[in-house]
Chains A and B, each alone.
Chain A
Amino acid sequence: EADIYQTPRYLVIGTGKKITLECSQTMGHDKMYWYQQDPGMELHLIHYSYGVNSTEKGDLSSESTVSRIRTEHFPLTLESARPSHTSQYLCASSRGSEAFFGQGTRLTVV
């Protein structure tokens, strides 16, 4: 069973607030990813990291930022949340060719 955790599971927040979505994995994986998924839609890669101090933007442009100071931790931050950021955010990690996903954070910006 995969050990990758996302908090919070659900978040409702007002426009303009700064938020950080947490993602942690205990598997020692070097590679970590953030995907954005609108309801009923496909997943889009927004950020990825190959290891500590490595971060790259994904296929889908996002106003969020990420950091990778520790192997196990890959938080995503929105400096000023907007209703257009309402979505589900899925974190994943991998070593080799299989990715393991967290349960996701469903973000609603009102």
Chain B
Amino acid sequence: AQSVTQPDIHITVSEGASLELRCNYSYGATPYLFWYVQSPGQGLQLLLKYFSGDTLVQGIKGFEAEFKRSQSSFNLRKPSVHWSDAAEYFCAVGMNNAGNMLTFGGGTRLMVKP
């Protein structure tokens, strides 16, 4: 069965600092990988996704993520965090033939200090 681990439950960074949120997955083949962001009281918004090809993918709001097969990781990065980035971030994995059902990690809550 597939699984997703986000080792950091909470992360606090200063505004303007760089950010990296970790995500490790367990899956027997090449998965579909996603990062979603959830603001308080809101649904999930897709930041970026990886299906195949270039292992560095660009997303919305200045985020990027790198797929590293050897490490089973798909870490999310942003060079300079803005206060509006404070939210909960979820990494998810989906099987390419499973009707798009996603398995989510536990989430990382990002707090941004002024």
Question: What residues make up the interface of A, taking CB atoms closer than 8 Å to B?
Answer: 6, 9, 31, 33, 35, 40-45, 48, 50, 58-59, 90, 92, 94, 96-104, 106
Contact = CB atoms under 8 A, between A and B. Distances in A.
A97 B107 contact: no
23 contacts: A9-B41, A31-B99, A40-B88, A41-B106, A42-B104, A42-B107, A43-B102, A43-B104, A44-B104, A59-B103, A90-B43, A94-B100, A97-B32, A97-B51, A97-B94, A98-B34, A98-B46, A98-B100, A99-B34, A99-B46, A100-B46, A101-B44, A103-B43
Nearest to B46: A98
Nearest to A35: B104
Nearest to B95: A97
Contacts of B101: 33, 45, 48, 58
Chain A: interface secondary structure?
Answer: strand
Contacts of B49: 97-98
B44 A90 contact: yes
A35 B38 CA distance: 14
A40 B109 contact: yes
